[in-house]
Amino acid sequence: MKCPFCANAESKVTDTRASAQGDVIRRRRECEACVRRFTTYERVEEVLPLVIKKDGRREAFDRQKLLGGLRRACEKRPVSLEALESTIDAIERELMDSGEKEISSRALGETVMRRLRALDTIAYVRFASVYRQFRDIDEFRAELETLAAEPKAGPPQENVR
């Protein structure tokens, strides 16, 4: 593993731990040249469907892009990075379990909003306002009224096999 500090190609692993779900391995490494320590994460690379954009372009699913959008929506909200990572993990599992080779950006956005709504309603409204591109205050108000009228729901249920 290449050292991020001195670019030396040799490092040794000093500690290895699995995540709580067991799908990510965290490794603490020490560079053999500069003796500085750094952390790497290993995860199985699974094939996710291509995202079909509104203009017809196809893009690879980008976990970091989704995380960035969720982080902006949850800015200054009591939502931990771990909760966001867990939400993205659940979305990825859902996409992989579907077996589809492609998914529309609209369907992906709806999935994200469903998960975000269960996580934090304010973050959901922020995300929905950008995603749905409300044209005026009346559309925004209608979404808030719909949200207020619904009973408080718990977290989304996972498919257990």
Chain position carrying tokens 């003796």: 35
C-alpha to C-alpha distance for 113 and 11, rounded to whole angstroms:
41
- For range 138-148, the mean pLDDT: 76
CA within 13 Å, CB half, 97: 10
For residue 76 the two structure tokens come to 């200054």
Please tell me the predicted confidence (pLDDT) of residue 152: 60
For residue 18 the two structure tokens come to 């699995």
What would the pLDDT profile of 111-141 be if each residue is shown by its tens digit?
Answer: 998 999 889 888 988 888 777 777 777 777 7
Mean predicted lDDT score pLDDT of the chain: 86
CA within 13 Å, CB half, 39: 7
What would the pLDDT profile of 15-45 be if each residue is shown by its tens digit?
Answer: 999 987 788 899 999 999 999 999 998 987 7
Percent of the chain with pLDDT over 70: 92
Please tell me the predicted confidence (pLDDT) of residue 151: 65
